[in-house]
A and B are shown apart, each in its own frame.
Chain A
Amino acid sequence: MVPTMTDIPAIEVTGLRRSYGDQVVLDAIDLHVPEGSVFSLLGPNGAGKTTMVRILATLIRADEGVARICGHDVAREPDRVRAVIGMTGQFSALDDYLTGEENLLLMADLNHLGRTERRRRTKDLLDRFGLAEAARKPAVTYSGGMRRRLDLAMGLMGRPKVIFLDEPTTGLDPRSRRDMWQIVRDLAGQGVTALLTTQYLEEADQLADRIALLDHGRLVAEGSPEELKRLVPGGHVELRFADDQALKRAAVALDVPPDGEPLVLRVPGDNRIQTLRNLLGRLDAAAVEVEALSVHTPDLDDVFFAVTGAGR
């Protein structure tokens, strides 16, 4: 993770609530996203992810609570917020009649870049996002992946400090998804703070420094991908022995009852070195020979089902 450059968090949200009619969409959300990190809001459709992004991007207002971007209140100083954010929506926000290049030039002009700078930045972004070849073609002819890349490039024209990526890979083919992931990683490498919403656990796991699980408008868990995985029971170390004798001695030494599978002992624990060292130390002390060892950590799917209730 890029070290924090200032004390002001890129995104700070406290007690945010929003309802549509009597349907509560966001319920007392607190978020703290340090500068330069990638934060993922993970949740199923209808969890409130897009509403959250729309509030932070000054498109809609919260009913209660405060949200600040780089220290600016989204409700009170929307223009200051707009000056530091970039937005990429689930539905590509580009001008179909214009070419890719013209779309970027429009963004450059609206950001009041100078004559040479607008050309230079546009060319840079076209190259960087693999759009140089299609630059002179109308955006309406672009594929889904190209549209998403152009959309993101447009959001980056103003050199935002914070970028919102609302389900940036939904509906993309696997290759375009990988391309998009690499782009997000590159952005994070340059110190841009990213708020990424996704319904794909793998995506959050791959990209995010921290993940918040959103379900029915409530934050049900938050932490680094590793922390979240540790929340779930089921992380264990599997030990395999050559004979029953060794298994029994190990069971006594570790104080873990065998669960019936022949020659295998499952010891609750995670994949931290300290845990493993401790475990092997106790086995050595008891002079037990282990034939094989494997560590099983739960993935985010397990976490998600554990905290939101399975069967969804």
Chain B
Amino acid sequence: MTDGLIMLRRQFRHMARDLSTTLLLLAVPIIFLLLFVYVLGGTLGDGLGGQGGRQAYVNYVVPGILLITVASAVQGTSIAVAIDMTSGIMDRFRTMAIARTSVLTGHVLGSVLQILCQLLIILAVAVLVGFRPDATVTEWLATAALLTATAFALVWLAVGMGLSAKSVNGASNLPMPLTLLPLFGSGFVPTESMPAGLSWFAEHQPFTPIMETLRGLLLGTPIGNSGAVAAGWCGAIAVAGYVWARRNYGRERSA
């Protein structure tokens, strides 16, 4: 564990040095938020049922924006892992008598903490543009727990991507679809409004139950079984990402 904390400190140094990447990845959800609230929000809000307009849409879209924040941030994780793998530093760590996965632990812990900070920033921006949640303290805690679990799961998936990518470029492209996934779910419009095939996909993809649960916790919409499904998806993605990452990490690399 000590080795993992040493590696975590290394990650913090990297983030501090490479602030531009962090800001760039943070810009993605902010642009989505402003675009959807101010350009499309007036019309989309009316389509939610009732005549809520822009104000109703801000509340509706925030859970989707939060997931885009996570998805965009893990792109940074994947890139950072790939940079380590393609430079000699990973080989150096592997020839040292240190905990085998401490490098990965450092990446995962560092990224999750970074994502939580970014989520706070995005929530603040959301409140500035009119987001008005009605969550109780317990609901806020549950929201934090779910977002942490989602970040943890997607970070492990991104570590797996970073390890399996042949180049840093590849590692940067692999997680891209994750950023768009909230759009093909209940993030921006209700799934019922989509054509049959797409709406089936939107209802069954992992991000939708997470977004529905967040919406329920923050705004009091019905959650139903979404909470349990969301937790299941987080667990499954985390385990799959972890196993994939471990396998890629242990794999021999020729020089």
Interface residues of A (CB under 8 A from B): 20, 50-51, 54, 57-61, 79-80, 82-83, 85, 87, 89-98, 102, 106, 109-112, 138, 151, 154-155, 158
CB atoms of B88 and A93 under 8 A apart? yes
CB proximity of B56 to chain A, nearest CB, Å: 44
- List 30 interface pairs A-B (beta carbons < 8 Å), by A numbering: A51-B254, A54-B255, A57-B95, A59-B94, A61-B252, A80-B97, A82-B95, A82-B97, A85-B95, A87-B91, A87-B95, A93-B87, A93-B89, A94-B87, A94-B89, A97-B13, A97-B14, A97-B17, A98-B10, A98-B13, A98-B17, A106-B6, A106-B10, A109-B6, A110-B3, A110-B6, A110-B93, A111-B96, A155-B92, A158-B96
Knowing that A60-B252, A90-B255, A91-B88 are A-B contacts, what are 14 other residue pairs whose CB atoms are under 8 Å apart, sorted by A's residue number? A58-B94, A59-B253, A61-B252, A80-B97, A82-B96, A83-B97, A89-B88, A92-B88, A95-B89, A97-B13, A98-B10, A98-B14, A111-B96, A151-B88
CB neighbours (8 Å) of B94 from chain A are: 58-59
Nearest chain B CB to A276 CB, angstrom units:
47
**Bound complex: CA of A96 vs CA of B88, how far in Å?**
10
Q: Is B98 an interface residue, CB under 8 A from the partner?
A: yes
The residue on A at minimum CB distance from B5 is A109
Q: Is the interface of B mostly helix, strand, loop or mixed?
A: helix
Closest residue of A by beta carbon distance from B16 = A97
The residues of B that contact A102 with a CB separation of less than 8 Å are: 13
- Given that A20-B254, A61-B252 are known contacts, is A110 also in contact with B98, CB under 8 Å in the complex? yes
Residues of chain B lying within 8 A (CB to CB) of residue A138:
17
B225 within 8 A of A: no
In B92-141, which residues have CB < 8 Å from any A CB?
Answer: 92-98
Chain B positions within 8 Å of A, measured between CB atoms, are: 2-3, 6, 9-10, 13-14, 17-18, 87-89, 91-98, 252-255
Chain B neighbourhood of A95, CB < 8 A: 10, 87, 89
Identify A59's interface contact among B3, B14, B89, B91, CB under 8 A. B91
Q: Which 6 A-B pairs have the closest CB atoms?
A: A93-B88, A93-B92, A82-B97, A83-B97, A91-B88, A109-B6
CB pair B2 A58 closer than 8 Å: no
Residue of B whose beta carbon sits closest to that of A140: B17
Least Cβ–Cβ distance between A143 and chain B, in angstroms: 17
Q: What CA separation (Å) do A50 and B254 show in the bound complex?
A: 10
Q: Hey, which chain B residues are within 8 Å of A112, CB to CB?
A: 2
How far does the alpha carbon of A109 sit from the alpha carbon of B3 in the complex, in Å? Answer: 8
From A91, A94, A110, A112, residue with most partner B Cβ within 10 Å: A110
CB distance from B240 to the nearest CB of A (A): 27
Q: Which residues from chain B contact A109 at a C-beta distance below 8 Å? A: 6, 9
Question: How many whole Å from A100's CB to the nearest CB in chain B?
Answer: 13
- How long is the Cα–Cα vector from A20 to B252 in the complex, in angstroms? 11
CB distance from A139 to the nearest CB of B (A): 10
- A87, B92: Cα distance in complex, Å: 7
Closest B residue by C-beta to A84: B97
Whether A96 pairs with B95 at a CB distance below 8 angstroms is no
CB distance from A53 to the nearest CB of B (A): 9
CA gap between A173 and B9 in the complex, in Å: 35
Smallest CB gap from A90: residue in B:
B255
Question: What separation, in Å, do the CA atoms of A7 and B191 have in the docked complex?
Answer: 75
A57 to B95, CA, bound (A): 6
Q: How long is the Cα–Cα vector from A151 to B93 in the complex, in angstroms?
A: 12
Query: A79 and B97 in contact (CB under 8 A), knowing A20-B254, A50-B255, A54-B255?
Result: yes
